[in-house]
Amino acid sequence: MILSSLVHIIWYVGFGQSTVLNGTRSSSATSYLGPQFINRPNLHVLLHAHVTRILSTAKNLTFRGVELSQDSGATVHTVSATKEVILSAGSIATPQILMNSGIGDRKTLTNLGIQTVHHLPSVGQNLTEQPLLSYNWVVTANDTEEEATRNVTLAAEQLKQWNDTRSGPLVDAPGLNLGWFRLPANASIFEEFEDPSPGPNTAHIEIQFVNGGFTPENPPPNLIGTNPTLLCPTSRGFVTLNTSNPFNHPIINLNLVGTEFDLFAMREGIRNTRRFMASPSFDGFIVSSTINATTDDELDEYIKANVGVAEHPTGTAMMTSRDADWGVVDPDLKVKGVRGLRVVDASVLPFVPAGHTQVPTYIIAERAADLIKTTWD
């Protein structure tokens, strides 16, 4: 639906789509490991098992062993695969486990005192995350999420309604509505930088409309959120190890809004949201907002100090063509230069999709299942 056209920016606004079944979030855990699957004889789930390393059984770089601990390293077990090992630990933990296993940049590993099993410099590099800014408006409405945080009777009623009938305000996803727009083709930034979006019909910015928000005030006023998110950032960060102890947290550098393009796009995200909220439809509805900054410098300062994440990290084990001398996995999701090891998670995406990552990740997983079945049939 085209809701509004302001200052040559066309917004597309619609309902966000969520994987919700009967008022309850449906996830890969409920849909692939639910009661009807968990008892399959060929499926074993080890709880509280922290994978520390993937091991090659011989000096020929064939990976067959998975080292894990269920007691923070007091005892360590090794599980052996007969066919292959699939690593699906996500964009942060996948490169962490690879580096713990000696697969990564030789110089980095050597400095940490980890023996390099296979030199693969792209591991953990090119971390891509979408910057999201929380932009909240105090509103005159009295039916935002804050109402239930101020009124325990109402909160109990809402919980009971959800519990009894799986209906009511608690079934709503936070971003119930999403708005999308592109930077105008004549935006000054494109004189200097190439458009990083995948194509002319893809949005640069998503606005997540939320029926509630964040404020330090307690009790909070009624708020709505209109959170600008940059869908195609050009900044790249990295994941690396801090120590050779696999139980230590890795170092995560998101490098949010680390480029001029990303800052420009976030500024325009704020300015267009402001124009949108100034339209007559909101007359009498808005009391104040959490962002007052107006000049480029003020906006940049505000963005750098307050930017958050969409929680869509990708790229740390990116897929490249079979003959590319960089990247981490090949188009069959196999780790380059070794045998018996595939990565199946969002880390293989070479670019963050200009949207959300849940569905693309399931698509990779379904495709991987077919590739694996084809290999071993």
Ligand X SMILES: *[C@@H]1O[C@H](CO)[C@@H](O)[C@H](O)[C@H]1NC(C)=O
Residue from 166, 271, 274, 275 touching ligand X (CB under 6 A): that is 166
Out of 160, 304, 322, 367, the only residue in the binding site for ligand X (CB under 6 A) is 160
The amino acid at 255: N
Q: 3-state DSSP call for residue 64?
A: strand
CA contacts within 13 A on the Cβ side of 138: 11
Q: Are 260 and 179 in contact (CB under 8 A)?
A: no
Q: Which two tokens stand for residue 299?
A: 């906006």
| Contact pattern from residue 119 through residue 148 relative to ligand X, giving x for each residue in contact according to CB under 6 A and a dash for the rest | --xx--xx---------------x------
CB 353 within 8 A of CB 202: no
Q: What is d(CA 348, CA 277) in angstroms, rounded to the nearest whole number?
A: 38
Tell me if 315 sits within 8 A of 236, measured CB to CB. Answer: yes
Q: Which of 118, 119, 249, 312 is catalytic?
A: 312
Window 353 to 372, contacts with ligand X (CB under 6 A): none
Q: How many other C-beta atoms are found inside a 10 Å radius of the C-beta of residue 174?
A: 14
The owner of tokens 């909240």 is 136
Q: How far is the CB of 75 from ligand X (least distance, A)?
A: 23
Q: Is residue 64 within 8 Å of 340, Cβ to Cβ?
A: yes
Q: How far is the CB of 156 from ligand X (least distance, A)?
A: 8
**284: contact with ligand X by CB under 6 A:** no
Minimum CB–partner distance for residue 47 and ligand X (Å) = 25
Q: How far is the CB of 29 from ligand X (least distance, A)?
A: 17
SS3 272: helix
- Using CB under 6 A as the binding rule, whether residue 154 contacts ligand X is answered as yes
Residue nearest to ligand X (CB): 122
Of 8 and 44, the one with the shorter C-beta distance to ligand X is 8
44 is catalytic: no
Query: Residue 267 has which token pair?
Result: 């500024």
Which residue lies nearer to ligand X by CB, 19 or 57?
57
Residue from 18, 19, 62, 215 in contact with ligand X (CB under 6 A): 62
Q: Does residue 356 carry a catalytic annotation?
A: yes
Classify burial at 356, counting beta carbons within 10 Å of its beta carbon; exposed 0-12, middle 13-18, buried 19 or more.
Answer: buried
**One of 151, 281, 294, 375 touching ligand X (CB under 6 A):** 151
Q: Which of residues 234-263 bind ligand X (CB under 6 A)?
A: 242-243, 249, 251
In the shown chain, the binding pattern of residues 180 to 199 toward ligand X, with x for contact by CB under 6 A and - for none, equals: ----x-x-x-----------
Reported as half-sphere exposure (CB side, CA atoms, 13 A), residue 293 has a value of 19
Tokens found for residue 193: 């930088």
Q: State the catalytic residues.
A: 312, 356
- Residues near ligand X, by CB under 6 A: 8, 22, 57-58, 60, 62, 121-122, 125-126, 142, 151, 153-154, 157, 159-160, 163, 166, 184, 186, 188, 242-243, 249, 251, 290, 292, 326, 339
